Amino acid sequence: MTFRPSPGIYDRLLDQDLTDLLARYPELRSLFGKLETEEQPSWYAEFVSQVLKQALLEEPDPDLL
């Protein structure tokens, strides 16, 4: 039997994590809205690109790259 959390728990945790993150970094802001289907790939690619770039910049050992 697989454990399945109650509907909404994951969203609530994510919301709390986001709230905590935004409280620690006031220069960040949340932006909510519906993405049009045709816009989704480019927005997701942009987000992943930024996350990956930041992770690479923070890598202390460039030989691991």
Q: What is the pLDDT of residues 31-65, one digit of tens each?
A: 777 888 999 999 889 989 999 999 888 888 877 76
Residue-level pLDDT at 42: 94
Domain span at residue 56?
A: 37-65
User: In sequence order, what are the residues at sequence separation of 6 or more whose Cβ sits closer than 8 angstroms to the Cβ of residue 21?
Assistant: 28
Asked if the structure places residue 53 within a domain, the reply is yes
pTM over 0.75, yes/no: no
Tell me: pLDDT of 12 over 90.
no
Phi/psi at 40 (nearest 5 deg)?
-55, -50
Residue-level pLDDT at 6: 63
Asked if the structure places residue 4 within a domain, the reply is no
Asked if the structure places residue 27 within a domain, the reply is no
Asked if the structure places residue 64 within a domain, the reply is yes
Tell me: pLDDT of 11 over 90.
no
Residue-level pLDDT at 31: 75
Q: How many domains does the chain have?
A: 1
